[in-house]
């Protein structure tokens, strides 16, 4: 039983997010008080939420994305034994979790089933007692909030922690003309999703991985492969590839964020913003292009691409946070700034895993899987090619606030010049 010896209300943007309380055993836990939710469930949406939650908790392996069952031989080692607090040898509820799932979601009930099913299936393989799930929901009217609210009890019954917060901040209100303001809001939302980990780091293992997902439609093996490659490659961060359709063939989506080890975009985007060159990925980086077409991981300067697995250590011990651009800094997305800060901290082992391919709606995700293949299509031989890590970032990286405004800047422009970049990529 949780005793409210010490209660702290956490407010972000005027909203009560969750409470923290000290248990009788001295362990600080976070929980959400439904009576304090700033957002109230819609009765009509709540009536449908139970059906969605039931489907999510009992996913059909033969689902509409054609997802395969995760390969136990490949991923089984990821399920670690429970780490017991030495002062509570017999209390197996006092554990250090190792896998932290983080999401910011809005208005995505149309793809919430494959998204949450993939997370639940991943948790089942990893061991729910090793997992925490933190979701920040905002501005949804389609039932997204109600489905998540209904899921909470079911996920906790598995043995995982589930933190559900709300934030009505709207990045789109900043508009395209004020990208800095938009990115600052997005950074705030991402940091809010990490709050349970950052506020109570003792509840998590030292080698915890953050699995940050956008509102994509993935398979469980997509999530597990990024986690697997982060561990096998000793990477600081591994990213998927995400795709959109501006024509009959898939086009790489996250071109604004991602930069290769040349410092350039993944494909040449002209000032017109045309995607005519989308097919020629890594056109000026032949080694990366070879790895891409052979579905082997390779190093990049920055990426996000819908789904990442990244080490929690720089956040917990190094004070790393998502942030917006500084006043004189290149206007760029918060994931690119994160990568830049990681390099500055000596955590430049950032890689794309091209066997993981995602899209942002169910129909497109199915088409992408058919065009690019499933993870298991490329991992059948069990081989794993090790990345030869470059210890230093590219000297210059392309700054691209808009397609019409592209120019090259030192990779660490605007960062404190007195803080020498540590490139000890052990």
Tell me: the pLDDT tens digits for 98-148?
999 999 999 999 999 999 999 999 999 999 999 999 999 999 999 999 999
The candidate with the shortest Cα–Cα distance to 259, out of 78, 66, 399, 77, is 399
Tell me: the pLDDT tens digits for 159-192?
999 999 999 999 988 765 689 999 999 999 999 9
CA distances from 358 to 120, 144, 217, 361, 368 (A): 18, 20, 7, 9, 7
DSSP label at 67? P
3-state secondary structure of 214: coil
Strands (E), 255-404: 298-299, 307-311, 350-358, 396-402
H/E segment holding residue 98: strand 97-105
Low-confidence ranges of the chain (pLDDT < 70): 1-38, 59-62, 81-94, 175-177, 381-383, 417-426
Residue 241: strand pairing partners: 357
Sole residue written with tokens 């996920």: 155
DSSP label at 83? P
Structure confidence at residue 76 (pLDDT):
96
3-state secondary structure of 30: strand
* Domain covering 39-67+96-410, topology: Spore Coat Polysaccharide Biosynthesis Protein SpsA; Chain A (3.90.550)
CA distance 116 to 179: 30
3-state secondary structure of 52: helix
Please tell me the total number of residues recorded for the chain in this structure.
426
Structure confidence at residue 59 (pLDDT):
66
Structure confidence at residue 113 (pLDDT):
94
Burial group, residue 364, by CB count within 10 angstroms (0-12, 13-18, 19+)? buried
The candidate with the shortest Cα–Cα distance to 192, out of 386, 391, 373, 13, is 13
Tell me: the pLDDT tens digits for 376-412?
999 976 667 899 999 999 999 999 999 999 999 999 9
Sole residue written with tokens 């469980």: 220
Confidence (pTM) = 0.88
């Amino acid at each position: 039983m949780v005793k409210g010896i010490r209660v702290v209300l956490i407010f972000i943007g005027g909203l009560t997010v969750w409470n923290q309380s000290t248990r009788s055993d001295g362990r600080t836990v976070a929980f959400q008080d439904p009576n304090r939710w700033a957002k109230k469930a819609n009765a009509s949406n709540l009536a449908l939420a139970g059906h969605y939650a039931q489907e999510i908790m009992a996913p059909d392996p033969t689902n509409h994305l054609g997802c395969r069952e995760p390969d136990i031989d490949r991923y089984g080692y990821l399920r670690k034994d429970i780490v017991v607090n030495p002062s509570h040898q017999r209390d197996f509820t006092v554990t250090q979790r190792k896998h932290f799932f983080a999401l910011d979601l809005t208005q995505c009930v149309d793809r919430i089933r494959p998204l949450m099913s993939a997370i639940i299936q991943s948790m089942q393989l990893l061991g729910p007692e090793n997992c925490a799930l933190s979701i920040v929901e905002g501005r949804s009217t389609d039932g997204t909030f109600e489905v998540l609210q209904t899921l909470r009890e079911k996920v906790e019954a598995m043995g995982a922690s589930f933190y559900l917060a709300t934030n009505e901040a709207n990045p789109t209100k900043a508009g395209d003309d004020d990208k800095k303001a938009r990115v600052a809001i997005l950074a705030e939302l991402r940091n809010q999703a990490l709050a349970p980990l950052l506020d109570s780091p003792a509840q998590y293992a030292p080698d915890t991985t953050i699995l940050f997902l956008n509102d994509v439609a993935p398979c469980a093996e997509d999530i597990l492969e990024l986690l697997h490659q982060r561990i096998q490659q000793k990477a600081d961060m591994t990213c998927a590839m995400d795709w959109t359709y501006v024509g009959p063939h898939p086009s790489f989506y996250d071109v604004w964020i991602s930069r290769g080890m040349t410092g350039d975009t993944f494909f040449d985007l002209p000032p017109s913003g045309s995607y005519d060159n989308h097919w020629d990925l890594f056109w000026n980086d032949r080694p990366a292009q070879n790895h891409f077409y052979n579905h082997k991981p390779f190093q990049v300067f920055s990426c996000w691409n819908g789904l990442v697995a990244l080490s929690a250590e720089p956040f917990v011990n190094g004070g790393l946070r998502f942030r917006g651009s500084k006043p004189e800094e290149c206007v760029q997305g918060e994931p690119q700034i994160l990568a830049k800060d990681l390099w500055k901290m000596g955590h430049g082992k950032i890689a794309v895993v091209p066997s993981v391919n995602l899209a942002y709606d169910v129909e497109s995700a199915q088409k992408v899987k058919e065009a690019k293949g499933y993870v298991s299509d490329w991992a059948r031989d069990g081989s794993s090619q090790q990345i030869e890590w470059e210890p230093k970032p590219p000297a210059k990286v392309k700054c691209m606030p808009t397609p019409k405004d592209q120019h090259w800047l030192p990779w660490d422009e605007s960062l404190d010049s007195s803080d020498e970049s540590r490139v000890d990529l052990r």
